[in-house]
Structure 1
Amino acid sequence: MSEPSPTIGPAPAPADGAPVGSGAAASLPTVLRRQHDCQQGAVRAARLSADGAFCLTAGSDKTLKLWNPYRGTHLKTYLGHGHEVLDAAGACDNSRLLSCGADKAVIVWEVSSGRVLNKWRSHAAAVTCCRFSEDASLALSGSVDGSVRAFDCRSRRTEPIQTLDEATDSVTALQVTDHEIVSGSADGRVRRYDLRNGRLTTDTVGDSVTCVTLSRDGQCLLVGCMDATVKLLDRETGELLNEFSGHANRQYPLGSCLDAADAHVLSGSEEGAVHCWELVSGKLATKLTHPRAAVVHSLAFHPSRAALVTAAGGAFFLWDTGEEAEGEER
């Protein structure tokens, strides 16, 4: 059966017009609003679009799916990977998607048609993470082969325009700004590549890095590690500002993130929950227990309000404050 082409538009406005950092945005989503079986095997990653309006799920059945998570509506399926899809991201204007997988491929898709715009197979091993540059002119990918590669989305060139191969183990996480690439690796290091000055800064955090997140003010790095800790680092100096623990993480790579106001730290857990800590005090604020016992390994916070998407097993879950039920169902 054919699927409707997704209509891309602006994200729903924050409740009561609340700006980022307001009390509304700072509150934590503690109510499970929706859970949805994605029917794509195991969900390897769940990502929100840049405006928070749409959700991407990467599946072990080789598919990438686009959703309206607030309605639980499946909008489109993207077919073209030859193995499990491991990560995905959207362009800031919602016109294109980026995905990568165990087939060593990095693919750019046109959202509305599902057409493959670019496809690169330059990596020597599975590609674990991918991100667009801020203007979506570049696609960046990190791989088990230990490299970060940058591809030009505007040309038909099949080889990367730049390869960063300083990691001595798998690259597991990527973040990109207008002038910097931040990577996390299983060698226990976070590397910051300053593209303006051609400078590499390396911070050693100890255990394998599974997730790297920039704070919304750009001053801090949140680093998830396989020793069951999430570390908050000063972005410029690498100084350890705080450390969060209490969740279970010994076997699987888990996602972590900050809320829309940079007030709380959230992390998945192998015990089937999301742990939420206060950023400054480090105290556990709440724990979001999922109805299924599967590992909660991926999560994405809405950019401007208290809404959270998580992935566990073959499903994604939508959490909010319980105060906007009708407003979210749009």
Structure 2
Amino acid sequence: MAFPLPRPEASQLPQCLVRNIDCQQKAIRAVRFNADGNYMLSCGSDKSLKLWSVSQGTHLKTYSGHGYEVLDADSSYDNSHICSCSSDKTVILWDVATGQVASKLRGHAGKVNCVQFNEEATVILSGSIDGTVRCWDTRSRNFKPIQVIDDARDSISSLNVVQHEVLTGSVDGKVRCYDLRMGELRVDSINSPITCVCFSQDSHCTLSSSLDSTVRLLDKSTGDMLGEYTGHKMRGYKLDCCFSSKDDYVLSCSEDGFVYCWDLVEGSLSLKLHVGKGVVQSLSFHPTKTCLITAMEGHVQVWGLEPDETG
């Protein structure tokens, strides 16, 4: 295939600031929508994880249990549980309603950079500076990982899970795609430290950002390069990239205070969204709506089509 199909007329991009939230968590390391996009998670350098209403911008709950800064988080498909990871080497499974720790998972030898549920939320996958991806059974009282993936030669910076496939990005410059059902591994060499990876919505393509200030679109099956997106600055920070909800745009954080948005097929810059004067540390695109959240320093910004948009 050449690009994700079918290609409808390009949708609009969120470029109006709806609200700017002071999360009071010191620096925000990651910001994520939950499964349905009604809530968002902010990961703070103050050791806390917070849950927010996107439509109101109100703080709903704080989850405290990590011993150091929280680096990533994910919500289960039914929003009943959250998993988070930290520089304290642990992964925590939280009960959303009570705010209590359901499980604290230890086994990584260094800080845990990324974490995600599988689709059924029966397994948590975590990637660490120790170069491993560990798989944890959320239903078991046995707190040892059920599988350890250790092909990377350096830190795992990012991972994405869709059905039976796991995509990982590593500082060793490799993008690895595991088909757990077939027991197959495909490796694509980028030759620059990877900061973020993700599947397209149709799962036919992969996106990866790296420290050579380039975002690359690859065919998942063949590894063929389908597009390169440049112009942003990414030289020293672990920053996010993503697809828009309809796969028609590619978005990336940047160290110059902007979010860059490119047309996926044409590769042209469609929008350069000014967030502020610092580094745009993290971003997340709403799963269905034209809505974007970004993080800079201690604030999270919600972007939509209209300035007074409420959801």
The TM-score range, normalised by the shorter chain, is over 0.9
Q: Residue 26 of structure 1: SS of its match in structure 2?
A: coil
Distance 1:157 1:193 in 2: 25
CA contact (8 A) 2:56 2:310 kept: no
Displacement of 1:313: 0.5
Q: 2:270 aligns with which of 285, 288, 296?
A: 285
Q: Aligned pair count? A: 306
What letter matches 1:138 in structure 2?
V
Distance 2:162 2:233 in 1: 30
The aligned residue for residue 16 of structure 1 is none
Query: Where does structure 2 lack aligned partners over 5 or more consecutive residues?
Result: 1-6
Q: State how 1:22-101 maps to structure 2 within 5 Å.
A: 26-101=11-86
Q: 1:310 aligns with which of 251, 272, 294?
A: 294
CA contact (8 A) 1:190 1:204 kept: yes
Measured against aligned partners, the alpha-carbon deviations of 1:176-235 in whole angstroms (never above 9, x if no partner) come to: 121111110000001111111111111111101110111101111010111000000001
Displacement of 1:69: 2.3
Provide the alpha-carbon RMSD of the alignment.
Answer: 1.4
What letter matches 1:55 in structure 2?
M
The aligned residue for residue 106 of structure 1 is 91
Measured against aligned partners, the alpha-carbon deviations of 1:72-129 in whole angstroms (never above 9, x if no partner) come to: 1000000100000000000010000000000000000011110111111100000000
Q: 1:240 aligns with which of 217, 225, 228?
A: 225
Q: 1:299 aligns with which of 277, 283, 291?
A: 283
CA contact (8 A) 1:223 1:232 kept: yes
Distance 1:188 1:40 in 2: 31
Query: Where does structure 1 lack aligned partners over 5 or more consecutive residues?
Result: 1-20
What letter matches 1:306 in structure 2?
T
Distance 2:211 2:122 in 1: 33
CA contact (8 A) 1:26 1:260 kept: no
The aligned residue for residue 17 of structure 1 is none
Q: Residue 139 of structure 1: SS of its match in structure 2?
A: strand
Q: Residue 310 of structure 1: SS of its match in structure 2?
A: strand
Distance 2:21 2:163 in 1: 35
What letter matches 1:123 in structure 2?
H
Displacement of 1:159: 1.1
The aligned residue for residue 3 of structure 2 is none
Normalising by structure 1, we get a TM-score of 0.90
Q: 1:294 to 1:327 in 2, by over 3 A?
A: closer
CA contact (8 A) 2:29 2:282 kept: yes
| Higher mean C-alpha displacement, 39-48 vs 194-203 | 194-203
Normalising by structure 2, we get a TM-score of 0.96
